[in-house]
Amino acid sequence: MSDRKSFRCSQLKMLGWVAILIGPATALAVSLIHGYDFPDSISQTATVIDKTVSLLPFALGALSLFSLSYSLTHAYDIWDRVLTVLMCIGFTIVAFQPCASSYLVSELVGVFAISQTYSGWVHNTGALIGFGSMILWVLRFTKSDKVKSEWTKEKRLRNKWYFGLSLLMTFALVLFIFDIAGAFVSDFPIVFWVECFVLVPCGVSCLIKGGLFFRDKI
């Protein structure tokens, strides 16, 4: 394996573990360490007054930096580059502007110092850009330079996983959109689980793409 390909696989694995662990880590930090109720969303864990969980900004920073680095150095084609740039933009917006939260006390919040209501909309827009681009990016993992008749058994198996995981991510994103539109009225933290069901499948896909599972047999 070339050094460049090895580095790319290492990046993918790193992103995979970050995407898988960001939800459980932030929830545990808030629910267990700080003694607050279970968070309504992953993003809410960055708004806890005086006890902000630094895991979320670092994780979002890692996602953004990975997306930009991947776009500049490892993108296969123009669409691969566009999608990862959009991921970077989306997750940067999410980090810059907090979601609406009962823990926020200032009227003007975030990097752009806007009202909580508008900040929530900006935050959700960034999430839609980041998650939507991420789903399309994972779906493009099914692409190959080889014709389909030359695909290995492992490549065919990987594609089934990529396709199935992208469907799960899409379903979760649709629920997220419905929740933004006010279709769900419940104390159940649906957004937290929706975010996890986008991030965790993406993480698993990246681990597969990085060669941790279902590698071609030499």
Q: Tokens representing 6?
A: 């090895």
Q: 183: which DSSP letter? A: -
Please state whether beta strands 114-115 and 108-109 pair in parallel, antiparallel, or not at all (unpaired). antiparallel
The answer to whether residues 10 and 210 touch, using CB atoms and an 8 Å cutoff, is yes
Contact residues for 52 (Cβ-Cβ < 8 A; gap 6+): 46
The confidence score (pLDDT) of residue 216 equals 86
217 part of a folded domain: no
Helix (H) or strand (E) holding 115: strand 114-115
Confidence check: pLDDT of 7 > 70: yes
Residue with tokens 């030359």: 150
The confidence score (pLDDT) of residue 101 equals 79
Confidence check: pLDDT of 54 > 80: no
List pLDDT tens digits, range 26-44: 888 777 766 667 778 888 8
215 part of a folded domain: no
The confidence score (pLDDT) of residue 182 equals 75
Confidence check: pLDDT of 154 > 80: yes
List pLDDT tens digits, range 65-101: 888 888 888 777 888 899 999 999 999 999 888 887 7
User: In degrees to the nearest 10, what's the CA dihedral of 103, 194, 31, 130?
Assistant: -60
Please tell me which residue, 187 or 43, carries the higher pLDDT value: 43
Coil, strand or helix: which one is 16? Answer: helix
Confidence check: pLDDT of 199 > 90: yes
21 part of a folded domain: yes
216 part of a folded domain: no
Phi, psi of 54 (to 5 degrees): -75, -10
The confidence score (pLDDT) of residue 128 equals 94
**pLDDT tier for residue 48 given thresholds of 50, 70 and 90:** low
The answer to whether residues 194 and 134 touch, using CB atoms and an 8 Å cutoff, is no
The count of structural domains within the chain is 1
**pLDDT tier for residue 171 given thresholds of 50, 70 and 90:** very high
164 part of a folded domain: yes
Question: What's the whole-model pTM score?
Answer: 0.88
Residue with tokens 């992103």: 15
50 part of a folded domain: yes
List pLDDT tens digits, range 92-129: 999 888 887 777 778 888 888 899 889 999 999 999 99
133 part of a folded domain: yes
Contact residues for 1 (Cβ-Cβ < 8 A; gap 6+): 9
141 part of a folded domain: yes
Structural domain boundaries enclosing 142: 3-209
The confidence score (pLDDT) of residue 166 equals 96
The confidence score (pLDDT) of residue 200 equals 95
Q: Tokens representing 170?
A: 């899409």
